[in-house]
Amino acid sequence: MIPRAPFGTTGHQSRVTLFGGAALGQVTDAEADRALDLVLRYDLDHLDTAASYGDSELHIANWLTREGRDRFFLATKTGKRTYGDARDQIRASLRRLGVDHVDLIQLHNLVDQGEWDVAFGKDGALRAAVEARDAGLVRFIGVTGHGLQAPRRHHESLERFPFDSVLFPYNATQLRDEAYARDVEALIAVCESRGVAMQTIKSITLGPWPGERPPRPTTWYEPLTDQGDIDLAVRWVLGRPGLFLNAASDIDLLAKVLDAADRGGPRPSDEEMAELVRRREMAPLFV
């Protein structure tokens, strides 16, 4: 069984593997139903979506109608940077999800310096998130990021505001970048000291797509697809205490990721991961 752990200081005891709602961005109702079957089979209780994930919020709204709003810790994201745009998008997400509040609103991919300055300004997106929290529309506020600068930027964000959660790329090949690894370790140390929940993405990255990105799988990177390889990648992430793993943004890989998390096992050694990287010719997504 996938274990539970405290999601920071929110009071939520979350499964350590979260459902990544990007997988529902472009699927049929029948495919979404199959994903819900997996979510229920593995007793996932934390759904992470975003306003920009296509029809994801609408599919999740159907899940909430069927299973009940209180069944899940519900998170979404706004990619808007100004107060007015973020305020409107947060409320639009509530309407699309069919709820009167979400548990976590996240400032989506807040890494670029210019966007960061706007979001933290007096008429920025953070003001909208705080206003929504004060109005009872959201309970907690987080920040997410992609790319090499995400951990460093999150560290800076935490110095400006007490976010409840962060989200950043974390996998064996990316952590071979010494500068990135230092930034990650510094961020983890701050999060541990302040009780900030740490979500990770890109766990099963094989490498960047070698050519034009195909329509399937629907991941932004070429993923590992063999169950044994996925087992190693998932165990490597979840073997680090305090980390949560967001399932891949492809519905066809969901079962393999959840199966790996459910069976668990010890964290692979450095030698085992080095052999996986060599055998599969893995490469970091961000360079």
Q: What is the pLDDT of residues 62-118, one digit of tens each?
A: 999 999 999 999 999 999 999 999 999 999 999 999 999 999 999 999 999 999 999
In the chain, pLDDT over 70 holds for what percent of residues?
100
Q: How many CB atoms lie within 10 A of CB 41?
A: 12
- Full DSSP string of 144-201: E--STTHHHHHHHHHHHS--SEEEEE--TTGGGSHHHHHHHHHHHHHHHHHT-EEEEE
Q: Is the pTM of this model over 0.75?
A: yes
Length of the chain: 287
Summarize pLDDT for 222-247 with one digit per residue, the tens: 999 999 999 999 999 999 999 999 99
Q: Domain segments of the chain: what residues?
A: 4-280
φ and ψ of 246, to 5 deg: -85, 125
List alpha helices for 68-122, DSSP H.
83-97, 113-119
Give the tens place of pLDDT for each residue, 118-177: 999 999 999 999 999 999 999 999 999 999 999 999 999 999 999 999 999 999 999 999
Compute the distance between CA of residue 223 and CA of residue 237 in angstroms, rounded to an integer: 15
Answer whether CATH 3.20.20.100 is correct for domain 4-280. Answer: yes
pLDDT in tens, 27-51: 999 999 999 999 999 999 999 999 9
Query: Token digits for 40?
Result: 């229920």
One DSSP character per residue, 113-141 reads: HHHHHHHTSTTBHHHHHHHHHHTTSEEEE
Q: What is the pLDDT of residue 54?
A: 97
pLDDT tens for 178-190 read 999 999 999 999 9
pLDDT at residue 222 in the model: 98
Q: What is the rounded average pLDDT of the residues 8-33?
A: 97
